[in-house]
A and B are shown apart, each in its own frame.
Chain A
Amino acid sequence: MRKLREFIIEKLVLLCGLASIFFVVLIFLFLLREGLAVFKTISPSAFLAGKSWYPISEPPQLGILPLILGSLVVTFGAALISIPIGVGCAIYIAEIAPKRLKEILKAGIELLAAIPSVVLGFIGMVTLVPFVKTVFHLPTGLTALSGSIMLAFMAMPTIVSIAEDALYSIPKTYKEGALAMGATHWQAIWRVMLRAASSGILAAIMLGIGRVIGETMAVMMITGNAAVIPHSLFVPVRTLTATIAAEMGEAVIGSEHYFALFAIGIVLFVISFAINVTADLFLHKRQ
């Protein structure tokens, strides 16, 4: 009886595991089938390097370079903001903050991670966008910079918690050794502990950035969505994700536009996958 129950449970779990793999493969195949179809009418290089995205003109122009650059600019800005602040915050929590403050900060970070991105986007729209507009004297606050700041908030919880964990789990003997040699606390952190935790911290950064690249709602709400090649952080941009989200509803199924949106999905998939694999490599190096 007991044996039978064990057997059934075991097989059920196996089934669930197989099902999830099966669905992932299915989704991927679907994505490939719909996405690769666009290359019947446009070459991959014209698609990736084309400078104009006018999907509903006649004939449609399907160059996604502005969108790729839009994603990169926003992500780059977000990285520029979130990496120093996130790593600094992790150092503060792991090494400097008194016990009580540490708990409060950790709870705060978790709370930040729990805010739905659409809510963050909404808050950004009513506070951050006008702020960026007035501070930098811009015609509009709907810019890559606004998106970067918003996304930095989303990357931060991932970066802080994983980097803090990395710092916390390096052997205490490194710190002891450094202090015993007469290093100040800060020297011990800077010269020894950050090095020791470097692969974990890099993984934290990659995972934080990975989260940012795939983010859709908030960027769509506050980056202005202009599909032009950005030359700075202070102009409206349109990201890969926002393009799919905004246009999928109106694209005619089976049209070139429709296939192109799936092809954008493939590009996103490849980027995210590459980032996650890199992060994984760093994490494994740590062990």
Chain B
Amino acid sequence: MTDKIVTKDLNLWYGGFHALKDVNAAFQVNRITAIIGPSGCGKSTLLRVFNRMNDLIEGVRTGGEALIDGLDILAPDTDLVALRKKVGMVFQRPNPFPLSIYENIVFGVRIRGAKVSRSELDAIVESSLRGVLLWDDLRDMLRSPALRLSLEQRQRLCIARLLAVKPDVLLMDEPCSALDPQATARIEELMRELKHEYTIVIVTHNMQQAARVSDDTGFMLLGELIEFNRTEELFASPRDKRTEDYITGRYG
């Protein structure tokens, strides 16, 4: 098994607030790793370290290392554009751009600036939509606005527009929290398919989801990574009392 993302004594502060405390974890290729924990424990913050989206927030400082393919992405000379090409993110609320379905998918290709022919773009659109099982539904309406789609379709589209630029890592921050249970189940199914080609990290406050979909799970509490293990083991025999309390529902 290969480590894709490794954190070493990772710390993060929002101004004076210590949001991540000495996080040590390894996220492996072709596996789905879930991060669980009560709201406000730092799950999203950890995820946003991996594509440096925390840089947008004023007053954020980091300490320690976050290695992707062995390179410390926290280094000041990291090429953010290249990093974010390699590490794509799916947000909690599906956020397709106010453009057509087609333009949403080729967005990532277009901003890279390379000249790509029309037929190549068409091929990328088709394969990306097939990748998220939307092609048959949307093939005849590629030019309509993406904002007409249902929530589930929007979230799939947001995944498709990442697939179009072939990232290595997919970060998903509560990707199903806006969806109903059936749509959630279908997105989870999609994740299981995608893991054969990507490294997936999913944040969720829904333990059942973590148990259903993930191979590894990390449990966070108040900025600390309390426990990190194979999902079955973490749920079947938690080593830490706090993990046990959480998964047996004693925290909320």
Contacts and interface: CB of A to CB of B under 8 A. Distances in A.
B98 A173 contact: no
B39 interface: no
Interface extent on B, as a size class? Answer: 20 to 34
Contact of B51 (A174, A178, A180, A184): A180
B176 interface: no
Given A187-B111, A191-B107, A191-B110, A182 B81 contact: yes
Interface in A143-176: 171, 173-174, 176
B53 interface: yes
Contacts of B8: none
Contacts of A182: 80-85, 108, 111-112, 165
B174 to A, nearest CB: 13
A135 interface: no
A266 interface: no
A173 B165 contact: no
Given A192-B97, A195-B98, A179 B111 contact: no
Contacts of B111: 178, 181-184, 187, 191
Given A173-B91, A173-B93, A176-B56, A181 B107 contact: yes
A177 interface: yes
B195 to A, nearest CB: 20
Interface string A201-232: 00000000000000000000000000000000
A179 B56 contact: yes
B97 A176 contact: no
Interface centre among A180, A183, A192, by most chain B C-beta atoms within 10 angstroms, is A180
B88 A178 contact: no
A176 B162 CA distance: 14
How many interface residues does chain A have, given as a range? 10 to 19
A41 B98 CA distance: 54
Contacts of B53: 176, 179-180
Interface of B is mostly: helix
B144 interface: no
Contacts of A178: 97, 107, 111
Contacts of B162: 181
Nearest to A184: B81
B98 A196 contact: yes
Most buried by B among A177, A179, A184: A177
B71 interface: no
B58 to A, nearest CB: 10
Contact of A180 (B89, B93, B98, B112): B89
Interface string B36-62: 000000000000000101001000000
A181 B84 contact: yes
B157 to A, nearest CB: 11
Interface in B104-140: 107-108, 110-112
Contact of B98 (A179, A187, A192): A192
A169 B83 CA distance: 29
B104 to A, nearest CB: 10
Interface of B: 51, 53, 56, 80-85, 88-89, 91, 93, 95-99, 107-108, 110-112, 158, 161-162, 165
Given A177-B95, A182-B111, A183-B107, 20 more contacts: A174-B95, A174-B98, A176-B95, A178-B97, A178-B107, A179-B84, A180-B53, A180-B88, A180-B89, A181-B107, A181-B165, A182-B81, A182-B82, A182-B83, A182-B85, A184-B111, A187-B111, A191-B107, A192-B98, A196-B97
A-B pairs, 8 with minimum CB distance: A182-B84, A173-B95, A182-B85, A180-B89, A177-B95, A196-B98, A182-B81, A183-B111
